[in-house]
Structure 1
Amino acid sequence: MSYTVPPTRTAAVVRQLRNEIVTGELPPGTLVKDAELAARLGVSITPVREAIAQLSVEGLIDIAPNRTRHVTKVTQKNALELIDVMSVLACAGFEWGVENLTATHLDLMRQRQREFVEGLRAGNVLAAGAAGADFSTIVILASGNRELQSMVDLVVARTLRILAMGADSDLWQTWITGHEEVLALLEHGENQAAVARYKQIYVDFRVKVERELLGE
């Protein structure tokens, strides 16, 4: 994920709407109207329609047969399925990339981890989510498989939106602790143990999410 300025109006609208959906500003089931969005965002209808089409591909907006659009509704089933898919993709990329990591990579991962924690402390979920995702991105890109990273980015965005995790959510702690322990293992050259610990993050996260969705 990046903080760079989007190159087009469509990309800017995509980023804005995605952020509003991820943070819950546009709740599940919200009716999405082209003209209203265009007026609010100060753009023409065309980039709004293109953005809606993109977010539909990402699974954030549902387009009905009658062409009405709504922010995708949440179910326990699709939340857990997304976590399962994210786990398979991210863990594969992590395992493929871990042997290619250098000291520079580890320094970047430590920096992203600090930004992740600081973002949560400041209540900035979007910044924290981006930094947390970048922690894994560094390893996945080290595998050389950019197509895999593109798929991981899509699933991460959808998962964050579905869970709408606030900065104070207990769910973040699973990632904070897991990242710290993964880093410690990598810094000691224990790559395979780091891969195993990384995989365990997803197992623990899924259990916590399932309990939260069930209200336990």
Structure 2
Amino acid sequence: MGATLALRNLTLAFRGATAPVLDIDAWNVAAGGSVGITGASGAGKTTLLHALAGIVVPESGGVCWDEDDVATLSSGARDAWRRQHVGLVFQDFHLFPGLSALGNVLLPMRFDHWGIDADTRSRALSLLRTAGLSAPDQPVTTLSRGERQRVAIARALLRRPAIVLADEPTASLDTDSARTTVDLLLTETQAADATLLVVSHDAGVLARCDSRWRLADGRLAALP
């Protein structure tokens, strides 16, 4: 089941900046929906995702997922909360070149010293098949950019997180690869009833989300 998001009086500024990069009075996202966020380069979209994931802490205000105000947690507690609840898809994938596609999908389990049982391995293989990757033992260094992005998405979805945050998941992908990537994200998050937030400049990606928002001057404004 997805999580409900509520931002309250959120401000976040970079040292030396003349204005906060985020200045959001209130913003709510219903559990289980998909939200597209766009805006100019440098508007703070990645920073917003990092605040939602507890990677960065705002100067003031609350980042509430259900009953958890991530902004008030200690660093260790935020890390533990993120591992339990959030699947992250980064712009630059964060894949390990020495591992196969399957090895990269399973890697977070090894980092957390969680056992990789038959069910977990089966889910990883199923996600890779759904992503169109029929050779799970293939080194990621031999995959195309679109295939590597889909490996990163499969990794983010492995534990069936309640929250999935994707930062420009179709950047630099051709049209067919972008469509396959978005299909994977939407199909899997909808099946799990997860809450999906996607940062994108791609109008096609935004059109497939339940709601769309533009970030400018630190604030979010609804789009049609």
Q: Confirm or deny a common fold (TM above 0.5).
A: no
Higher relative contact order, structure no. (Cα contacts within 8 Å, ≥ 6 residues apart): 2
Please indicate the TM-score interval, normalised by the length of the shorter structure. Answer: under 0.3
- Which structure has the larger Rg over C-alpha atoms? 1
